[in-house]
Structure formats: C-alpha cells, structure tokens
Copies of this chain bind each other. A is one copy, B any other.
Amino acid sequence: MSTSFADRFPADPWILREVGLDHRELAQSESLFALGNGHIGVRANLDEGDPNGLSGTYLNSFYETRPLPYAEAGYGYPETGQTILNVTNGKIIRLLVDDEPLDLRYGQLISHERILDLRRGVLERHVEWESPSGTRVKLHTERLVSLARRSILAIRYRVEAIDTPLRIVLQSELVANEPLPTQSGDPRAAAAFKDALESITHDSEGNRAHLVHQTRSSGLRVAAAMGHQLDAAQACATEIIDHPDWARYTVSSTLAPGETTELVKFVAYGWSATRTTPTLRDQVDAGLISADQAGWDTIEQEQREHLEEFWSGADVEIDGPVEIQRAVRFGIFHAYQASARAEHRCIPAKGLTGPGYDGHAFWDTEMFVLPLLTATAPHAAGDALRWRADTLDAARDRARTLRLRGAAFPWRTIAGEECSGYWPAGTAALHINADIAAAAARHFWWTRDDDFARTVAVPLLVETARLWCSHGYDGPDGQFHLDGVTGPDEYTAVIDDNVFTNLMAKRNLTSAVELARQFAEDAQALDVDDDEIERWADCAARMAVPYNERLQVHEQDRGFTSREMWDFERSERNDEYPLLLNAPYFELYPKQVVKQSDLTLALHWCGSDFDAEHKARDFAYYEPLIVRDSSLSACTQAIVAAECGHLDLAADYLAEAALMDLHNLQHNARDGLHIASLAGGWLALVAGFGGMRDMGDQLIFRPQLPPGWTGLRFALRVGQQRLRVDIGPDTVRYSTDGDATIPVLHLSDDDEHELVEIKAGADVERPWTPVVPQTPTPTQPAGRPPFSLSDMAARS
C-alpha cells in the first residue's frame, strides 16, 4: 500500500526530506515538518490550506479556558481547564491556475517534495502539478519561523509556468476560527473549541492587513498582521480586503512558459492579556515593517546564522546508522524550536506542533527537555525555569488548597494553574515538584549564574522543600515517608514511598539545604531559618527507600514487588497495548505492570543512591514489566541499559526514543510531536553511550559505543564555553574552546575513575572499555520488545 519509510523519507544526516505525498499521513507530516521558535508554532499545513490533516497555528500560552466537568465533584478539584487555541492562520496562499484551484486531491501530482534542512530552519516545498484540465505548473515555496525575530513567520512562494501560458491568481490570507476536525475520544487528544475568537478590529491597506481577536473566556487578545512583497514577470492586479475573521491579498497575473511570479509574505503575531488593542496592533505592524525592510534573504540568513551558533554547542555526530543520526538531530532541532524564544513561557509536551494534551506542559519539560537545553541552549532552559518561578504564586495557592506548605506545581498547565481533571494521575504526581527543583539545581551547576540562583533556583528549591516536609511524615520505623503519591508509572497511583519520588525529594531537600546556605540572604527573605534547613537535611537523611529483601531488589513503591503479576501474554494475544485504552485503572493499579520507566528513572537520575549490583538487578527486574505505553520511557531504558552493559538493548531503546514520531510509534503524532522523547534521543546518546552524569558539582563521563558504531561526538556548553567529547572505538577525547578549565570525572572501565582537567588547546584522550553486564540481557513484556532499526528495516 504505502511506500516504505525509507522511500518516503530518504536517509540524510541533516535533512528530513519527504518524497511524494501520502494523504493518509498528512496530519503526521504536518507535525514532523512543523516550524516554531517557542513563541510561534505553525504546523506544516500545505500552503494552499486544503487539504489538511489538522490546521494549526499556535502562540505560546495563548489559550482558552473551559469549566472542567466532573460526574462527581470533590474538594480541591481544579474547576477551570486551559486549552491551546488554533489562532489566526497566516500560512495560507492559495493558487488558481486558469481558474482552477490548486488542490492536490484533484488533477495529477507529478512530483511533491518537502525538505527541512536542520541547519537552515527553512521548510522547502517543490511541487509539479497538472490541473484536471491538463495545465501544468511548478511551485517552489519556502517557509520559516524566525529564531531571530520572535514575532515573524515568513513565506516565499514562487510559481512557474511550464509548457503553456497560464493565468494565475494568488490569494494570501489571514483566517481566524478555521473549522477543525473533531478530536477522537482518546483522552490524550485535545478538546476542540469552535469559534473561540471574537473579532475586535480588522483593517487593511495596500499589501497589508491585520485582524485582532479576543477569546471569549480567558480574556486574551491576539493580533495577526500580514504584508507582502511581489516580484512578477508580468503585470499584476492586486487587491486587499478585510473582514472580521479573514483578510485577503489577491494577486492576479499571467505567466509565459518558464516565467515565475514570486510572492514573499511576512506575518507578525502578538498577544497579550493586558495590553490594549491599539498597542497590540502597533506591535505587529512594527514587526511587519521591520521584516519588510530586511527582506526574505536577510531573514533567511539570520536564521542560518542563528542555527549555526546553536548547533556549534549542541550537535551530536555519530559514526553509525544515518537514520539515527538524522533522528537525533531532528529531536534536538524540535526541542530547540519549542523553546528558543519562549521567554518566560512554558514548553508544552508537544511544543507548538499540535493541539495534543490541550497544549499543556508537564514534567516532560524539566526531566527530559531541560537536561538537553541546559547543556546546549542554556538561555532557553533558564527561561523555562523562569516561567516556573513566575508561576510560584499559583503553586503556593495550590499547596494551600491541598493544605500543604510551600508550593505545589501543577501536573499540567499552560499558565500555571492546575488543569488536571483526574487527581490520582495529576495532583498526586507530586514528583513534578522535585523534577522542577532538580532542573533548577542542575541549571545552576552548569551555568553558575548567581542571578539565576537568587531569583529562580532558591525560591523554587525552598518552596518545594517545604512541600515535601509538610506532605511527608516520620513513620514508626524512624524513616521519613511520602505516602499517597503517584510516581512516573501511571499504571499505579496513590501509592506509598515511590522510590523515584522519594529519592528526587531527597535531592530536592539536599539541594535546598546547599543553596539556602550559599544564598543565605535570599533564603532568609523567604523566611528560611536554621531550624528549617536542619529539618530539610534531616528528612532527606531519613528518606524511606522500599526494598524487597527476598528478591534483593528495590520496590517501585512499598509493597510493589509482592503484587499480582499482569498477564502480559493475554495482552499480547489480544492486542491490548496501550493498556490504558483496553483495561480499567481498577485492574491496572494493583498489579505489577509499569507504564513507563519509574524505578528505572531513579536508577538514572538518582544513580548515586544505588550500587552497581543493585542497578543491574533492579533494571533486570523491571524490564519485563515496563510496557512503554508512554513515550517517556525508552530513552531512560536506553541510558540504564547502557550503564548495565546491555549495549544492544540500549541501541534499540535509543532508536525507539529518537524515532518515536518519525515512525509514529505512539500512533498520535498527528496531535503533535513528543518533544520529550525527541530530547530523549539526545539523552540516550549523551547520558547513555556517553555515560554523562551531571547531578552534582562534577561532570562524569563513562564512554561506550553501540555495537557496530565507530564514533560518537557531541558538544556541550559549560558556562561560557564549549566542551567537546569525541568517543572513538577505544578512546575518548575531551576538548574545549574557552578560557576556563573544565574538570571532568572520566570512568574508563568498571573500576577506574580519574579526574581530568580539560583546557583549551590541551585535549585529553583516555581509554575506555565496555561495561561488563552482571545479568543476562533482560527481556521485555510479551509483545513489547523495543522498536529497533531492524524492525524498521523489516517494515520497509
């Protein structure tokens, strides 16, 4: 039926190129080729608007509110949800050829190609089409969302006559309140909103138009403006008109064979909850005029330079399968697109690539995306954490509602208020607070930015530390317990002493102790005193970590390892994955079945709390239980598999994480990309095979290579300079380009470690040997082996 993946997306280390157009996969490809800068996100809808899988243009944190319904109400249930809105669509340029609309569902598509070069940040499209009446035309369009100019989307649209003269009409539009397809009943898909935007004002003149709208309930205002530059072979007639929900710039002309008409379109976006309509209108007009003056070539050049600087401190090169090479770069690119210019706004789970999860940000940001960004794009990581700090008051309010001290950050949100409508997998997932604290502490360790520490890290750490102390209690066994929480594994909920939560809370508390002492004045401003610091240290020291003596493994939570085993064979036989769509929580919760890395996640991020023997045994115990019904699992399994010496398995998990969306492994890439899993591809390489650990003052590397690879090289930003790690078949070379010395703990085999000092011009080379596995390679649940490159080949 459909062509193979390899035929559809021919392998290339830097370029995602799609050959042909599969109408059934339109929505997925709109997500894959989506462009964004963290402020604006545009799905790769075809220029002509129709057909589309799911039209989408998003502005970070521009949302509508809705009442959250409950069949049975309860104290403290969030009452208001926030849902990302599809805003005014500025991407549309329709083409009529001899009065026939170019619509790829009709006529004959001679060729179609889309190209996203990750170094250019421009989406190109090449089309040759024959209309139903037999007229041929060529299109070459380019689109970018500017990383240098936060408010600008730019399009260059070129149409060419081939063998006959053509009459053409181009219609460049702004369209608000586009009809959208009804979302599926899948709880993971976003809720739909119809006619969510009310017109405030609209205007047009010359080649420019703008529309200003507001939401009905959340009270946000959005302005969109478009302007045009025309380069035509023949005389053109133009017209501009505006209506409340749409504006249109029309160009009518003719083309002789071989002639082209080129239209450059700039679209500027702005939104605000507080600024007035005239201010907003002026803001987008200013952006437009500045872009107009710069012109396409300059803007494209800015884009390339911006990305060049980014990649110089972020790229990962592998001497291995080109498919993995491209997938990891694709992931890094999208993580950066989701965050580069977010500037005190959230990084949603789907970035700005689709409406999935209502556009909410989760723990994905801090646990999967920020480890990448802190190490490669620290300004973006810092801004994401500043967003969290900006929402501290909402988190303090939430803690008070929950009758706790400190701050309780929302499980899912856009603007800071809890939007989770199912508390056992929302409110109870208290670990998000420790995840945020860990990201803040880690960011400070990488950047040593005192201002960040004072204004962001200290408040976040102090208020989350308070949360743990007030939620936990001293048990009769003398340990400090955190009961009734939900860990990362959403197939158990409201359980006691989740190891991941407890160990992350422990880190949260000890980091709070450290920073409150280092920035004593800032801590005191938050009413921290010595007694409180003592209490944090004491709770951390006595944190409970459940352990099964008989099995000699850690328990994911208290009692986990003596629960009933899930019937994985039945689930394989009846094709029941993902289980959440085929079994009730009532059955899932009390059984040994794990949705996603949980104890395994603790083995990675809290690795210093486990010795190598337990890592090996724990990893082997949980592997047969993890069904990976979440995209936030494979990367962690790759990392711990590598640490335990199961390198083939690690390579498979790396492939699954990095190829999550390219291969649509969760079957919902249409709703947007899994940014955390994509960032997880980088993590699997850098923390997995690179063996990087960055949870303390000390950067650690324990280099290895996947079987069959001959090299792995990656760049990191440490303070103001870059650190390069170049792993060869037997040795690793560390180098830097800055003035400072970077101390690195190099682990060359299972017993040897050495502190090496990396200086500019004095590269350090050291040997490494692979980890010796202490257990046989663990198996996975029936029907759930990792996706691997060999699967991919089999599919092709």
Contact = CB atoms under 8 A, between A and B. Distances in A.
Interface stretch (A67-75, A299-307, A512-520): A67-75
A71 B70 contact: yes
Interface stretch (A438-446, A475-483, A669-677): A475-483
B481 A564 contact: yes
A584 B401 CA distance: 8
Interface stretch (A22-30, A555-563, A735-743): A555-563
A710 interface: no
A599 to B, nearest CB: 19
Nearest to A73: B187
Contacts of A562: 475-477
Interface string A412-451: 0000000011111101100000000000000000000000
Contacts of A580: 74-75
Contacts of A586: 76, 402, 423, 427-428, 484, 494
A121 to B, nearest CB: 36
A496 interface: yes
Interface string A570-583: 00000000001111
Contacts of A421: 70-72
A180 to B, nearest CB: 19
Contact of A590 (B423, B484, B563, B582): B484
B483 A403 contact: no
Contact of A70 (B69, B73, B404, B420): B69
Contact of A558 (B75, B76, B559): B559
A475 to B, nearest CB: 6
Interface residues of A, number: 52
Contacts of A70: 69-71, 421-422
A589 interface: yes
A590 B185 contact: no
Interface in A369-423: 401-404, 420-423
Contacts of A585: 74-75, 423
Contact of A584 (B427, B559, B582, B583): B427
A791 interface: no
Contacts of A558: 559
A36 interface: no
Nearest to A420: B72
A590 B76 contact: no
A589 B75 contact: no
Given A403-B584, A484-B590, A589-B494, A422 B71 contact: yes
A787 to B, nearest CB: 24
A564 B185 CA distance: 39
A81 interface: yes
A590 B69 contact: no
Interface in A54-81: 68-76, 78, 81
A404 B484 CA distance: 26
Q: How many copies are assembled?
A: 2
A585 B73 CA distance: 11
A527 interface: no
Given A483-B564, A564-B473, A402 B587 contact: yes
Given A422-B71, A422-B72, A403 B587 contact: yes
Interface string A457-481: 0000000000000000101110001
A81 B591 CA distance: 29
A75 B559 contact: no
A75 B582 CA distance: 6
Interface centre among A69, A81, A484 (most CB of B within 10 A): A484
A580 to B, nearest CB: 6
Nearest to A79: B71
A453 B525 CA distance: 74
A477 B564 CA distance: 12
Given A559-B558, A584-B76, A585-B423, A590 B71 contact: no
Nearest to A422: B72
Contacts of A425: 72
A420 B586 CA distance: 13
A484 B589 contact: yes
Given A494-B590, A559-B558, A584-B427, A74 B484 contact: no
A206 to B, nearest CB: 47
Contact of A71 (B81, B494, B550): B81
Contacts of A494: 424, 493-494, 586, 589-590
Nearest to A493: B494
Contacts of A493: 494
A424 B590 CA distance: 12
Contacts of A68: 71
Contacts of A589: 484, 494
A81 B71 CA distance: 9
A69 B69 contact: yes
B422 A496 contact: no
Contacts of A404: 587
Contacts of A591: 483-484
A591 B425 CA distance: 19
A559 B187 contact: no
A559 B546 CA distance: 13
A76 B587 CA distance: 11
Nearest to A550: B476
A674 to B, nearest CB: 19
Nearest to A589: B484
Contacts of A81: 71
A402 B425 CA distance: 20
A343 B210 CA distance: 70
B496 A559 contact: yes
A587 B428 CA distance: 9
Given A476-B562, A484-B590, A559-B558, A403 B72 contact: no
Given A73-B187, A76-B586, 4 more contacts: A75-B582, A402-B587, A423-B584, A424-B424
8 contacts: A71-B422, A76-B584, A402-B586, A403-B583, A404-B587, A423-B586, A475-B564, A494-B494
